[in-house]
Amino acid sequence: MSHTPHELAADFPEYAEQLHLLKESDAHFQKLADAYHTLNREIHRAETNVEPTSDEHLTEMRKRRMVLKDDINTLLKAAAQNP
């Protein structure tokens, strides 16, 4: 299987511990991370033409991924400041 870009662990290596802890202890964070992971895989499949889609749909998926990533980043920063 090829490497899927934009995985959370690769994009936030400085928050590896917080990623693990929040996935284990915070249902809201887990839901966001799962949604991000699912959407990221869909985008990767579209970008590699495994499951082609329209440019408009791909752009919309990328925007949703960015919003999820921003929300996740906010929670990771908060967890790092308040261990």
pTM of the model: 0.90
Confidence grade of residue 3 (pLDDT, cut at 50, 70, 90) = low
Question: Over the stretch 24-76, which tens digit does the pLDDT of each residue have?
Answer: 999 999 999 999 999 999 999 999 999 999 999 999 999 999 999 999 999 99
Confidence grade of residue 5 (pLDDT, cut at 50, 70, 90) = confident
HEC string of 3-65 equals: CCCCCHHHHCHHHHHHHHHHHHHCHHHHHHHHHHHHHHHHHHHHHCCCCCCCHHHHHHHHHHH
Confidence grade of residue 82 (pLDDT, cut at 50, 70, 90) = confident
CB atoms within 10 A of CB 18: 20
